[in-house]
């Protein structure tokens, strides 16, 4: 994944009031931490940043007063209603440094006819180079039959990554499809029998 270049500005103000003013000025408050250094508080351009962080584990190349910083997006805080970004936590990284990231699992293909699949694990934890982070782990389920299971150990990992998730963890489960119509008919028949039973008992008593 290529790094996204953004211009950042140092900030010395904090608190909800400042954050609100920053958002009104189309800026996003952020903090950069890591490597034992003091946190760096900055603001980022809202539109460009929102586009840059659409992918998981986005790597940002920040220009802060002419000084370059590589940073990995670790946490994004959003407004629960509007879903606009309110704050971003960034982890400073170096070229070639190994980091731990959670990478989403993407499924490709369709299982065999008459089957359904359940994605039991939506992300897997990997160790990867900070400047070569995968955006997803692809899993091909084409033609998979009922009863088949895909575990973390079965995944084809992106080059240069190491699996940290438990190898035995279930990622995808393939099972037979159940006809909803059949279930409905069975339930209706059971309900009908239950309703008829008291009536039959009353008739017998008479």
pLDDT over threshold 90, residue 57: no
pLDDT over threshold 70, residue 52: yes
Q: What is the pLDDT of residue 161?
A: 94
Give the whole-angstrom CA distance, residue 72 versus residue 94. Answer: 10
Q: What is the pLDDT of residue 100?
A: 92
| Window from 4-8, 75-79, 142-146, 189-193 with minimum mean pLDDT | 189-193
Backbone angles phi, psi at 107, to 5 degrees: -95, 140
pLDDT in tens, 91-122: 999 888 999 999 999 999 999 999 999 999 99
Contacts of residue 166, Cβ cutoff 8 Å, sequence gap at least 6: 152
pLDDT top residue among 56 and 88: 88
pLDDT over threshold 80, residue 192: no
pLDDT in tens, 130-178: 888 888 999 999 999 999 999 999 999 998 999 999 999 999 999 998 8
Q: What is the pLDDT of residue 20?
A: 79
Burial of 174-191, coded b for 16+ CB within 10 Å and e otherwise, reads: beeeeeeeeeeeeeeeee
Residue 182's pLDDT band, with cuts at 50, 70 and 90, is low
Adjacency order of strands within the sheet including 162-163: 137-140, 98-108, 123-129, 162-163
The model's pTM: 0.69
Average pLDDT in the chain = 86
| Window from 16-20, 61-65, 66-70 with minimum mean pLDDT | 16-20
Pairing mode, if any, of strands 137-140 and 98-108? parallel
């Amino acid at each position: 994944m290529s790094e996204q270049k953004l211009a950042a500005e140092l900030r010395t103000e904090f608190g909800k009031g400042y954050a609100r003013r920053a958002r009104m000025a189309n800026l996003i408050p952020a903090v950069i931490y890591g490597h034992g250094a003091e946190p760096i508080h900055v603001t980022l351009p809202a539109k460009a940043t929102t586009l840059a962080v659409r992918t998981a584990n986005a790597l940002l190349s920040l220009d802060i007063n002419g000084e370059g910083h590589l940073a990995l997006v670790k946490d994004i805080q959003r407004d629960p209603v509007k879903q606009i970004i309110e704050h971003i936590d960034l982890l400073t990284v170096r070229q070639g440094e190994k980091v731990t990231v959670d990478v989403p699992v993407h499924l490709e293909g369709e299982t065999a006819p008459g089957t359904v699949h359940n994605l039991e694990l939506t992300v897997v934890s990997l160790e990867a180079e900070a400047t070569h982070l995968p955006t997803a782990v692809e899993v091909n389920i084409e033609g998979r039959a009922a009863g088949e299971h895909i575990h973390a150990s079965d995944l084809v990992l992106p080059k240069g990554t190491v699996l940290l998730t438990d190898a035995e963890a279930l990622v995808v489960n393939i099972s037979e499809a159940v006809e909803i119509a059949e279930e409905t008919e069975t339930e209706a028949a059971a309900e009908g029998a239950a309703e008829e039973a008291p009536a039959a008992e009353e008739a017998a008593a008479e």
